Structure 1
Amino acid sequence: MASVDECRAALDKLAEQFGELDHETRTKHVVERTLSCRITDLEVTFFGRIHRDGLDAFTETQPLDGRPADIRIRIRSDDLLLMVNGELDMAKAVFGGRVKIDASFGDMFRLRKLL
């Protein structure tokens, strides 16, 4: 099991990787959405926001409006690290039940194009 700090570092790396996407891809596939990433084995949730200019840093502070995130991800700590390091394919992880994503169909389609 990975630590909370390792998960935070993995999410920071994910934000960096997202920042490396070309402008055309972000413009075509990104709409502003709030995100939550629940690390199920650590019982911690990180919150962030995706937009055309990038992926904001994840924090453990829930947004003040108290609404659920537009895109909610549930994943085990080790799987998060594997996915961010390119050792676990997101689509296979979702279909295999290792990652659970609650989002609209359109958001799921856009995520598939970005990850």
Structure 2
Amino acid sequence: MATIQECREALDRLSGDLTRSGDGARGTAGFDRSLSCHVTDLDQTFTGRLDGGRLRVATVTPGPPAAKAEIRLAMTGDDLLALVAGELRFARAWASGRIRLEAGFRDLLRLKSLL
């Protein structure tokens, strides 16, 4: 089972991957959204912002998200690590219910190009 620290590091790596990606940088220009990622097996929520291709985690709190972010993710810690490592395909995991994503339709289209 993944630890809170491993999940935080995975989110930092994901942020770096988005920043280095040429398509990601173009696709996120002017894209500023609040984001929460609830790690279900640890019952911890990482909250922050996705801004200009950079994911900035501001807080980690116990339990489900206290406030409704514009982009909401939920998954196990192991799935988060596998996703960032490239071992888990986002679309397949989302379609099978391993990863839950809630966002507005326009945001979903933009995220599709990033993930």
TM over 0.5: yes
Aligned length: 110
Kindly state the Cα deviation for residue 55 of structure 1 after the two structures are TM-superposed.
2.1
With over 3 angstroms needed to count, the CA separation of the structure-2 counterparts of 1:32 and 1:90, relative to structure 1, is same
Q: Which has the higher strand share?
A: 2
Q: What residue number does 1:55 align with? A: 55
Per-residue CA deviation, residues 37-71 of structure 1 (Å, 9 max, x unaligned), is: 0000000000121122522245316xxxx742100
Q: In the superposition, relative to structure 1, how do residues 67 and 76 fare at CA in structure 2: closer, same or farther (>3 Å)?
A: closer
Unaligned runs of 5+ in 2: none
Residue 94 of structure 1 corresponds to 94
For the 8 Å contact 1:15–1:57, the answer to whether it is kept is no
SS in 1 for 2:59: coil
TM-score under structure 2 normalisation? 0.86
Structure 1 segments of 4 or more deviating over 2 A? Answer: 24-30
Give the aligned CA root-mean-square deviation in angstroms: 1.8
Q: Is the 8 A contact 2:12 2:55 kept in 1?
A: no
Q: Aligned ranges for residues 18-37 of structure 1 at < 5 Å?
A: 18-22=18-22, 25-30=24-29, 31-37=31-37
Provide the residue aligned with 1:109 in structure 2: 109
In 1, Cα distance between equivalents of 2:39 and 2:24: 28
Contact 1:2 1:78 in 2 (8 A): yes
Partner of 2:83: 83
Which structure 1 residue ranges, 5 or more long, are not aligned? none
Change (3 A) 1:58 1:82: farther
